[in-house]
Amino acid sequence: MMAFLKRTISDRKGAAALEFALIFPVLFILHIAAVEALGAYQAQRKVSHIAAAIADITAQNRTVTTAELDDVLKASVSMIYPYPNASVQQRVSSLSANGSGSVSTDWTVKKDFSSADGPSVPSGYLSANESVIVTDVVYDYRPTFGLFMPETIRFTRHAYVRPRLSVKVEKIS
């Protein structure tokens, strides 16, 4: 009997399989967590890119129409790919400061934007007689697995771009 116990204790066959069976769940969980974190990071980067692109395209004009702004907003939704684009909310606005530095909204165009708050700029951003294009993009990201993150993460990004060809981008019609 003692010989059998000594042989069993000293036998190393199957040790690697046992170690793998113990470590595999930990590695699997780490892998899923990394995939979820990377997906959230990529989604928030895409939201930032959408906001910057809308503001940049709008700021390259002297005048814009509602139809042109609608086209820009529709086209920019495709930038969220491969994530679902159903929950992308967008707003592009022109804000300007008068001679005394008081900031007001010149115009705003929205696409699926639900916030009641108006567009704004940080305090001191605009000096007297300056204007800026402000873009707000909101996206509700849902993680693929939902094991380690909340069910929905709301990304909100703003972009501020000064007009390039004129003092102010005017909206016509």
Instruction: Dump pLDDT digits (tens) for 65-107.
Output: 999 999 999 999 899 999 888 889 999 999 999 888 788 899 9
- DSSP lists the bridge partners of residue 137 as 90, 157
Q: What is the pTM of this model?
A: 0.82
Residue 5 lies in a domain: no
Residue 122 lies in a domain: yes
- The residue whose two tokens read 């940080």 is 122
Residue 62 lies in a domain: yes
Residue 115: per-residue pLDDT: 84
Residue 103 lies in a domain: yes
Residue 125: per-residue pLDDT: 87
- DSSP lists the bridge partners of residue 172 as 65
Residue 8 lies in a domain: no
Residue 140 lies in a domain: yes
Residue 5: per-residue pLDDT: 63
27: pLDDT strictly greater than 90: yes
For every residue of 98-148, DSSP letters joined together read -TT--EEEEEEEEES----SPP---TTSS-TT-EEEEEEEEEEE--SS-SS
Helix, strand, or coil (residue 97): strand
Instruction: Say which amino acid occupies 153.
Output: I
Domain extent, residue 33, equals 15-172
Residue 7 lies in a domain: no
Residue 102: per-residue pLDDT: 87
Query: Based on the structure, what is the number of domains in the chain?
Result: 1
Average confidence (pLDDT) over 146-163: 89
